[in-house]
Amino acid sequence: MKSHKMLFGLQLAFTLAVCAFLIVPVVLSILAGLTSNYFVGLESGLTLRWVFEVWDGYRDTIFRSIGIALACLLVTLVLGVPTAYVLTRSGSRLSRVVEELLMLPIAVPGLATALALISAYGGMGGFRTSWTFILVGHVLFTLPFMVRSVLAVLASIDLKTLEEGAASLGASFRQRFFDIVLPNCRNGILAGSLMVVTLSIGEFNLTWLLHTPLTKTLPVGLADAYASLRLEIGSAYTLIFLLMIVPLLLAMQAFARPRPRRFISDDPVPESK
Amino acid sequence: MIYLLLPAAAFFGAFFILPMCRLFLVGGSGARGWSAYTAILTDPIYFNSLLATLGVAAATTVATLIISAIAGVFLQRHRFPGNALLVSMLTLPLAFPGVVIGFMVIMLAGRQGLVGTITQALGGDKWVFAYSLGGLFMGYVYFSVPRTILTVMSATEKLDPRLEEAARSLGASTWRVVLDVILPGLKPAFISAGAICFATAVGAFGTAFTLAARINVLPMVIYTEFTLSANIAMAAALSFVLGAVTWLVLALARTAAGSTVAAAG
């Protein structure tokens, strides 16, 4: 029993150490962003000066990132949800191939995807210099996550029976899709949406090559600030980024918790006579 | 019904398949011609950066798996006050992009970093290793631990506790249970999570870019070829090879683990 207690203690200590490794730099960075002079330390006093400076200098990157993330969400919804539906329903070898293809942009480094996009479309001036060029990259990268998360939900419900039931009652394909399929995969769509927005806001690998001086996004600005400005500015900018991304992450964590299934239960249906 | 696939297929064809084919052609169009694709093995500069990249990725994978296995199994098996808080803290950096991870490494091991301050206060030299391969390794571990812990936890949840009870009742020690029951049960999760760690570390660019300086990993080499040397053909060939390597690792893991590999950020 004693050795069990010791083992528990050791494991707890190890886990706490890992936690510290992950969290301490975040805390340090937040403090640095609020400290007057980080080199001197906290004694130099707390200030919001750096945050305001970042806000003045990089405000446009913040709004652009949010805009791109929302546009990306819209496109992935329109492209991804029907794709997941077809993949569930057809269930053939074709859908294996399609799934494999769709996952490629995750497997391939963002740098390679960005270079490919530039070599194919870099010559199209208007497209190359607009924010939609970045949007295309973000959609490629996030689409698999939307498809995956909707697929996961669709695979856990008996869609075929539900649809056949509806069809036998005379529902058209359109009605079935909007009144049965979509409400049933609502959780998957929500989880996928959170994922898409979070990933798009933070995307750097692709964006760094795709961006132009007029289409900088938040992570691009972060890289800029880290490279050329003082530690406090980089930290204050990181703080703003954290404020945007942490609520999304917390929402995602809340979603990841197992929840009771609502639509088709495994329990025998009580007879109602 | 198949028509529903058309929009996605059109988008994917126009913006991924076509550009990738184009990239492949560009790779063979430079001064080296098609031998650009073999230069990664024959040119010592590229070959050394390939070795450095694979080395860092392998070290990251091993370290991440060990850390996540210990912490993940522990958190899943023991319910205690604060457990949920620990889990959310461990998974908080999940969506940090590579650049931010690089900055966190600078906060820890950079010129004004915590490690340097502590080692100096203890009377030793100021440890600054953020801008080297060591820093990159640290960054990749930081990046990979949160997602791997989640994978390990969900795999642990699915392990049948009766197997462990059976082993114990037959007189197996804690270590034997870990070695013969828990680890084999987690093997598929390890393979898929490890493959993702490895592929991400091979292809990640943001962290190396933030730490920059003297780190010659392949993504950085590709980037300098493209921007500084304007050697677009070489950059294309290298990134095509890099993409093939990461895809192959993930595909092999998928076959080995017998299930779809969860995706990486």
Q: What is the pLDDT of residues B139-197, one digit of tens each?
A: 999 999 998 998 999 898 888 888 888 888 888 888 888 888 888 888 889 998 999 89
Question: B236 CA to chain A: closest CA distance, Å?
Answer: 7
pLDDT exceeds 80 at position B261: no
pTM: 0.86
Query: What is the sign, positive or negative, of the torsion defined by CA atoms of A226, A232, A233, A239?
Result: positive
pLDDT in tens, A205-257: 888 888 888 888 888 888 888 887 778 888 888 898 888 888 888 887 777 66
pLDDT in tens, A17-35: 999 999 999 998 888 888 8
Convert B194-216 to b/e letters by CB count within 10 Å (16 or more is b). Answer: bbbbbbbbbbbbbbbbbbeeebb
Q: Do B23 and A208 touch (CB under 8 A)?
A: no
Mean pLDDT of the B124-135 span? 82
B13, B8, B14, B16: which is closest to A85 by C-alpha?
A: B8
pLDDT at B184: 87
Return residues 233-262 of A near B (CB < 8 Å).
234-235, 238, 241, 245-246, 248-250, 252-253, 256
Mean pLDDT of the A9-16 span? 92
pLDDT in tens, B198-217: 998 988 888 888 887 667 88
Residue pair A33/A50 in contact (Cβ under 8 Å)? The answer is yes
User: Could you tell me which chain A residue has the CA closest to the CA of B195?
Assistant: A107
Q: Taking all residues of chain B, what is their mean pLDDT, rounded to a whole number?
A: 85
Q: Do B100 and A246 touch (CB under 8 A)?
A: no
Q: Taking all residues of chain A, what is their mean pLDDT, rounded to a whole number?
A: 82
pLDDT at B162: 85
User: Could you tell me which chain B residue has the CA closest to the CA of A199?
Assistant: B95
A:B CB pairs within 8 Å: 228
The answer to whether residue A86 neighbours chain B at the CB level (below 8 Å) is: yes
pLDDT at B258: 61
pLDDT exceeds 60 at position B20: yes
Domain extents in chain A: 24-256
pLDDT band at A53 (very low <50, low <70, confident <90, very high): confident
pLDDT band at A263 (very low <50, low <70, confident <90, very high): very low
Q: Do B19 and A120 touch (CB under 8 A)?
A: yes
Compute the CA torsion angle B113, B115, B120, B125 (nearest 10 deg): -100
Mean pLDDT of the B11-21 span? 88
pLDDT at B253: 86
Question: A273 CA to chain B: closest CA distance, Å?
Answer: 39
pLDDT at A268: 44
The CATH class that applies to domain B18-257 reads mainly alpha
pLDDT at A232: 84
User: Could you tell me which chain B residue has the CA closest to the CA of A133?
Assistant: B15
pLDDT at B262: 44
Convert A133-172 to b/e letters by CB count within 10 Å (16 or more is b). Answer: bbbbbbbbbbbbbbbbbbbbbbeebebeebbeebeeeebe
pLDDT at B117: 82
CATH architecture of A24-256: Orthogonal Bundle (1.10)
| Separation of CA B233 from chain center | 26
Range from A154-158, A221-225, B255-259 carrying the lowest mean pLDDT: B255-259
The answer to whether residue A28 neighbours chain B at the CB level (below 8 Å) is: yes
pLDDT in tens, A160-212: 888 888 888 888 888 888 888 888 888 889 989 998 998 899 888 888 888 88
Separation CA B218–CA B242 (nearest Å): 8
Percent of chain B at pLDDT > 70 equals 96
pLDDT at A2: 64
pLDDT in tens, B26-62: 888 877 778 788 888 888 888 988 999 999 999 999 9
pLDDT band at B264 (very low <50, low <70, confident <90, very high): very low
B67 Cβ neighbours under 8 A, 6+ residues apart: A18, B141, B145, B148
